[in-house]
Amino acid sequence: MKIRHIAGLAALLPLAACSDRTPERPNIVFFLVDDFGWVDSSVQYGDELYPNNLRFNTPNMQRLSERSTVFGNAYACAVSTPTRTSIMTGMNAAHTHITNWTSAMRDTPSDATGGGFWMAENKGSGDAAAGDLLSRPDWNINGISPVPGVTHTQYANSLVQYLKDAGYFTVHVGKAHWASAGTPGVNAYNHGFCVNIAGTMAGMPRDYSGMDNYGNTKERWNDFAVQNLVEYYGTPTHLTEALTMEAFKALDYPIKHKQPFYLYLSSYATHTPIQPDERFAQKYRDAGMDEGQAAYASLVEGVDVSLGQVLDFLDEKGIADNTVIIFMTDNGGNSENKQKGGVLHTQNKPLREGKGSNYEGGIRVPLMICAPGRTRIGKCDVPVICEDMFPTILDIAGVRGWQSVQDVDGESIFPLVTGNGRGPSPERPLVFHYPHKWKPYDLEDIDFLSAIRIGDWKLVYRIKEGTRSQLESLSPEVREAARAAALELYNLKEDIGEENNVAARHPDVVKRLADTLSSRFRRWDTPMPIVVATGRPAPLPDEI
Amino acid sequence: MKIRHIAGLAALLPLAACSDRTPERPNIVFFLVDDFGWVDSSVQYGDELYPNNLRFNTPNMQRLSERSTVFGNAYACAVSTPTRTSIMTGMNAAHTHITNWTSAMRDTPSDATGGGFWMAENKGSGDAAAGDLLSRPDWNINGISPVPGVTHTQYANSLVQYLKDAGYFTVHVGKAHWASAGTPGVNAYNHGFCVNIAGTMAGMPRDYSGMDNYGNTKERWNDFAVQNLVEYYGTPTHLTEALTMEAFKALDYPIKHKQPFYLYLSSYATHTPIQPDERFAQKYRDAGMDEGQAAYASLVEGVDVSLGQVLDFLDEKGIADNTVIIFMTDNGGNSENKQKGGVLHTQNKPLREGKGSNYEGGIRVPLMICAPGRTRIGKCDVPVICEDMFPTILDIAGVRGWQSVQDVDGESIFPLVTGNGRGPSPERPLVFHYPHKWKPYDLEDIDFLSAIRIGDWKLVYRIKEGTRSQLESLSPEVREAARAAALELYNLKEDIGEENNVAARHPDVVKRLADTLSSRFRRWDTPMPIVVATGRPAPLPDEI
């Protein structure tokens, strides 16, 4: 049962009262990058610059960071759709029940099984294979929906609709990936966007190159072929560049008409396919990177150039001073794909693991916010999370008194940027949940993990171990070992790499975090994977 | 060398001065149908209702006609792109040199040859085959361009850019087909549209059904798969309906913000593929139509329902009184496609021939204009032509003093609607030019025809015959017979079916029309097909 949420202390204003522009309504650019890791730029998000930071050429990210509040403890979900839908709804992914990415076509679970696949070409049922311990939970496989009654979706009012209702000209460019084709949620226009370029059900681009028509060729086509870019077919225009240019065209109208705008510029890069952007790749090869690493670094540099073009565009239009920029990534860097070169599972060092995982490598992400004239420039280490973007952006836009059908979990972090007002507490619990199997093979540090962070403490719940600890078919010894392995505790302040599980030394902390996590899951009726042997949901962390 | 055109007597206003809305700036809906014939509805465009008029169920077109000026002598070009680019530029197709439709990919002539094809799957070179008399002219195979310097394009300022500059919120929905992929002209955003739904290089839809994802499936994909409709994939939503619903979403912003809008709702229907729209097809089958005819009639009814939805939408939003509606077709009904059922080349009776032909069946089209409170309701028989839409729409929008890089050939016909001011003369020459071969087989009443109408007189120039009359390799008798057959004269008032060639009886009229046509072609440097035997352009009508 959902209740209505009334934010802040502001009086309820009829939305129509917001329809004229005031100087308080800045333009907002949300620059969202894909699969781009925490250490994959020269920007220092951590306490120090790590070796990986030195491998990438990102002068424009650097330029933005020097005007921004740089969040060193910013989080997203472990994969794409949960983050993107949390941004749109303000809800935690364990609350939307959108805990995995959505497939291209509706009613198609993206969960892998023992022998299953999740590619569009080869849809898996998500059902358990013989020998699996767990099968997929009953999650919202169709994503979000702006209307009620659509099966397997989270019905919610979108951030963007509030902005549009408040007079913002709202522009979507790039990757959407909130919902599956064949549902209302897949259509950006249904969420309050005035313009949509290239946003579909696609979670990745079929092809980055205009020479391949971004995948729109008979020989090379699937649901991820990128739409709306026919101008560049047969030209060497890289996808990242094409999207950036289309964004500028879409902004022509609000700039001319002095309407505030919200640009959600959501790069498909640096998602797979890791194809080299030949504008930039050679210098990384020359620097000794292998082909995959060089290709990835070239995609990163393409994103950096795009950001620079945005900054230049705002300067040229004379609107930089009245435009807030949010730079973020949708999940951690991919460390489980051979295309990317290098050594698997090490790409986000010092962070453990990468995309898909609820270890830090999968969820800790770059985040910078620049509000010209109002920004406390420098690092901020208060932990923040993707669902905070919903109230944060409405806060920036000056939209007050909004009501939503959903309970919003996020809090505005804009006070952390400006120093005005109270931001979220550093001790606020942040919750992560990935009750899925990612790939046909087992990935012990990715599949079926939940986590919670409170202050410097982080608890990781290994659902498979928790399940084994309850299985009566197993021996007491095996069950006890599983119980001991199910809950890991890390002190992130001292151990950012999550190398030292200190659960045994801090049973009180483990219990407090496990209780909080379980309590959230109960409140949100969070789906757990199904134990194949019993047909019942896997246990919550406080049940083991 | 192009000169600048200054319309009307109005002082030159800086465009910025137009950026606030005045009551004189009505919304404008341009409802453009595709391949929809002159007699394919219950609306009476001719002097009488013909048998064909009774076969179609089009109550909404009827409803609009009862509020409109109904043009009985309205013309378009014989095929799609020339009409669409004439609307955008205000130029005659013989002047833009865009005399045929543009192929999906740039630099690809769409001309057929003896053994050539023009489908995307099977690109033809457009070069002459052995035995051909004529090969393709050097026309602007890439369509229009909003920027100079693009090979084989007509550089022009678009109608839509003026509207946008004057404060209109400009929405493109449906078929564009102004230019080939890989050029700036293919991108609606480059022509001044604020929103573009589904407009690409495609001249036809890959598939009308949402169940087939409008052609976006691996099994059924080519460049004509329709973009931007992912919401409806796997649902029975017909393309015409999906586009209509998306149009309404796009209008949400300008209606809320009280910005005038221009909606160019350009249906893909009733172009091939002639697939039955099962919402409507059965009643036509039950009425005894063959499957092709029933399918076509169902596509027509889908368009009619869409028009009704637009009229209802305007009523519901309370803006019908301030919205001008233009209803038109891009060329005559297709009478050369077996999919459509019935007897080939008879579909537009009483008009001769159909799409592709410069006989009346190919170029005389439905046109209605409704300007609430200002319309002289009823028939108007002054001949008008597609390039008139450019100055007409700017006239309706109250945009004055526009300047363009191109010479505009059209005239505002809005005075014919309102009775205020002077519309074009009934004796104004209207020019038509199709210097192409349409299909791999010869179509004598379609291929390589030019025409001119002045008042009730129409001259048809058969370029093949004109060419033969000049070929020294032929005998004097053959050349003389060709000369006699090259120029046909019809009195359309008496002979709407162009059955009685009266050229021999009116040599003075033939000469006057041939001279005028030739003079236009010379002024516009109009491309003529190339005579294979000589390598030189085919003769103009006054040269034979």
Residues ≥6 apart with Cβ < 8 Å to A444: A462, A464
Chain B residues touching residue A105 (CB < 8 angstroms) = 233-234
Q: Taking CB atoms and an 8 Å cutoff, what residues of chain A touch B189?
A: 246, 249-250
Minimum CA–CA partner of A234 in chain B:
B182
Q: Is the model's pLDDT at A449 over the cut of 90?
A: yes
Confidence at A24, pLDDT banded by 50, 70, 90: confident
Nearest CA in chain A to B171: A195
Decide: A497 and A529 in contact? Cβ < 8 Å: no
Q: State the amino acid at position B393 in one-letter form.
A: I
Q: Interface pTM (ipTM) of the complex?
A: 0.94
Measured CA to CA in angstroms, residue A197 lies from A29, A248, B190, B527 at distances of 15, 11, 13, 37
In chain B, list all ranges with CATH 3.30.1120.10. 448-543
Q: Nearest residue on chain B to A226, judged by CA atoms?
A: B227
- The helix (run of H) or strand (run of E) holding residue B310 is helix B291-316
Token pair of B127 as six digits: 């070069």
Q: Which chain B residues have a beta carbon less than 8 Å from that of A252?
A: 164, 194
Q: What is the pLDDT of residue B24?
A: 73
Task: Read off the pLDDT of residues A167-221 as tens digits, 9 standing for 90 and up.
Answer: 999 999 999 999 999 999 999 999 999 999 999 999 999 999 999 999 999 999 9
How distant, in Å, are the alpha carbons of A320, A392, B399 from that of A416?
A: 21, 10, 49
Is the CB of A182 less than 8 angstroms away from the CB of B234?
A: yes
CATH code 3.40.720.10 region(s) in chain A = 39-119+142-425
| Under 8 Å between Cβ of A144 and A171 | no
* Token pair recorded at residue B241: 């309906």
Which residue in B184, B187, B230 is closest to A200 by CB distance? B230
Residue by residue, DSSP assigns A42-73 as SS--SSS--GGGGG---HHHHHHHTTSEEESS
Flag if B194 and A253 touch (Cβ within 8 Å). Answer: yes
The minimal CB distance from B233 to the residues A181, A218, A221 is found for: A181
Residue of B nearest to A167 (CA): B257
Q: Which of residues 189-208 of A touch B (CB under 8 A)?
A: 189-190, 194-196, 200-201
Which residues in chain A are closer than 8 Å to B256, comparing Cβ atoms?
19
> How confident is the model at residue A115, as a pLDDT?
52
Tens of pLDDT along chain B (544 residues) come to 343 444 333 333 333 333 343 447 999 999 999 999 999 999 999 999 999 999 999 999 999 999 999 999 999 999 999 999 999 999 999 999 999 999 999 999 999 876 554 444 444 555 666 678 999 999 999 999 999 999 999 999 999 999 999 999 999 999 999 999 999 999 999 999 999 999 999 999 999 999 999 999 999 999 999 999 999 999 999 999 999 999 999 999 999 999 999 999 999 999 999 999 999 999 999 999 999 999 999 999 999 999 999 999 999 999 999 999 999 999 999 999 999 999 999 999 999 999 999 999 999 999 999 999 999 999 999 999 999 999 999 999 999 999 999 999 999 999 999 999 999 999 999 999 999 999 988 999 999 999 999 999 999 999 999 999 999 999 999 999 999 999 999 999 999 999 999 999 999 999 999 999 999 999 999 999 999 999 999 999 999 9
Supply the pLDDT for residue A132: 84
What would the pLDDT profile of A297-340 be if each residue is shown by its tens digit?
999 999 999 999 999 999 999 999 999 999 999 999 999 999 99
In 3D space, the residue among A505, A484, A502 whose CA is nearest the CA of residue A492 turns out to be A502
Mutate to test the interface with B, among A231, A244, A249, A261 (most CBs of B within 10 A): A231
Q: Which residues of A24-44 are buried (b: 16+ CB within 10 A; e: fewer)?
A: ebbbbbbbbbbbbbbbbbbbb
pLDDT (tens digit per residue) in A67-84: 999 999 999 999 999 999
- Residue type at position A271: H
Give the integer Cα–Cα distance in Å for A445 and A349.
15
| B250–chain A Cβ distance below 8 A for any pair | yes
What does DSSP assign to residue A348?
T
Three-state DSSP class for residue A416: helix
Helix, coil or strand: residue B87: helix
What local confidence, expressed as pLDDT, does residue A122 receive?
A: 40
A–B: how many Cβ contacts below 8 A? 92
Q: Please report the pLDDT score of residue B114 as a whole number.
A: 61
User: Which residue in B274, B271, B195, B261 sits closest to B228, CA to CA?
Assistant: B195
Name the residue in chain A with its Cα closest to that of B169. Answer: A253
Of the partner residues A183, A187, A221, the one whose CB lies closest to the CB of residue B221: A221
Give the C-alpha separation, A353 to A331, whole Å.
12
The answer to whether residues A466 and A544 touch, using CB atoms and an 8 Å cutoff, is yes
Q: Write the CATH number of the domain with boundaries B39-119+142-425.
A: 3.40.720.10
- Using CB atoms, pick whichever of B182, B233, B234 lies closest to residue A235: B182
pTM: 0.94
CA dist B244 and B319 (Å) reads: 17
Q: Of A184, A223, A228, which is closest to B227 when you measure between CB atoms?
A: A228
Select from 3.30.565.10, 2.20.25.90, 3.30.1120.10, 2.40.37.10 the CATH code of A448-543: 3.30.1120.10
Distance between A249 CA and the closest CA of chain B, angstroms: 7
Count Cα atoms within 13 angstroms, Cβ side, for B185: 35
Band of residue A249 on the pLDDT scale cut at 50, 70, 90 = very high
Chain A residue with the nearest C-alpha to that of B107: A234
Helices and strands (H, E) in chain B, number of each type: 13, 20
Among A28, A40, A91, residue whose Cα is nearest residue A364: A40
Q: Give dist(CA A317, CA A305) in Å, integer.
A: 18
Q: What pLDDT was estimated at residue A128? A: 64
- Cβ <8 Å between A182 and B221: no
Residue B189 has its nearest CB partner, among A189, A232, A246, at: A246
Percent of chain A with pLDDT over 90: 91
- Please indicate whether, in this complex, the C-beta atoms of B223 and A216 are within 8 angstroms of each other: yes
Q: Single out the residue of B339, B164, B196 nearest to residue B264, CA to CA.
A: B196
Provide the residue count of chain B.
Answer: 544
Q: Chain B: residue nearest A121 by CA?
A: B218
Inter-chain CB proximity A105 and B234 less than 8 Å: yes
Pure H helices in B138-269: 159-165, 239-256
For residue B181, give the nearest of A105, A222, A233 by CB distance.
Answer: A233
